[in-house]
A and B are shown apart, each in its own frame.
Chain A
């Protein structure tokens, strides 16, 4: 079993829809949870970052962490064609100074105009 599971998609939704992206994990020691966005032929860029459980909102993006279920989500409201990309979840343990990231496989998202 992989430490982090993520549906690879592809996922296609019409412009303006709400998008829900999810990851599950098995390592209960994970404390930091991140979402990266990766455009084609580019490196990943950090989109959202949360520590422990709870919600975090940034503009059209909301990240949710449910540690009891080992489940994290990223919601995109009012989706735009520019949101078309691969979205990677990543996690790390509480380990100052050398925090290894464990990634999901990524979900390829296409927003249809």
Chain B
């Protein structure tokens, strides 16, 4: 299975600032995903990031708020822009190594608190 690391593991930020979260995988993968996990709520897919193409955003998430980069097959970043306390959440990177969903693995997450 893929080994995924995320930086930072946690952060406390001020309202109105931006934070970039990094996701590094130990092997090349085609599909990478960014999720949000808020207390008491389901893991929610923010966007799918495929190398060489624009990220695909889910309903309710927009590129201006959550810009994503995918410069190569082992790395991606998610930026949370112009943050508000409602953005306080755990952000998870996920990769899919094969064609089907049983090959999807998650990183340890980034715990973000916005004051």
Residues of A that sit less than 8 Å from B by CB: 2, 4, 8, 32, 34, 36, 41-46, 49, 88, 90, 92, 96-106
Contact with A99, one of B44, B100, B106, B111 (Cβ below 8 angstroms): B100
Residues of B that sit less than 8 Å from A by CB: 4, 31, 40-45, 48, 58, 92, 94, 96, 99-102, 104-109, 111
Q: Which of B42, B94, B106 has the most CB of A within 10 A?
A: B42
The complex places the Cα of A4 from the Cα of B43 at a distance, in Å, of 11
Q: Is the CB of B100 within 8 A of A105?
A: no
By secondary structure, the B interface counts as: strand
Contact with A97, one of B41, B45, B99, B102 (Cβ below 8 angstroms): B99
Give the shortest distance, in Å, between A92 (CB) and chain B (any CB): 5
Asked whether A44 and B43 contact (CB < 8 A) given A98-B31, A98-B48, the answer is: yes
Q: Is the CB of B101 within 8 A of A43?
A: no
Q: Is the CB of B99 within 8 A of A43?
A: no
**Chain B residues near A34 (CB, 8 Å)?**
101-102
Q: Is the CB of A43 within 8 A of B42?
A: no
The complex places the Cα of A41 from the Cα of B9 at a distance, in Å, of 9
Return 19 A-B CB contacts under 8 Å, by A number: A4-B42, A8-B40, A32-B101, A43-B4, A43-B92, A43-B109, A45-B106, A49-B101, A88-B43, A92-B101, A96-B99, A96-B100, A97-B99, A99-B101, A100-B58, A101-B43, A103-B42, A103-B43, A105-B42
Asked whether A101 and B102 contact (CB < 8 A) given A8-B40, A42-B109, the answer is: no
Asked whether A100 and B45 contact (CB < 8 A) given A32-B100, A42-B109, the answer is: yes
**Chain A residues near B45 (CB, 8 Å)?**
100-101
**Chain A residues near B41 (CB, 8 Å)?**
105
Contact with B108, one of A2, A32, A43, A103 (Cβ below 8 angstroms): A43
Asked whether A43 and B106 contact (CB < 8 A) given A100-B45, A105-B42, the answer is: yes
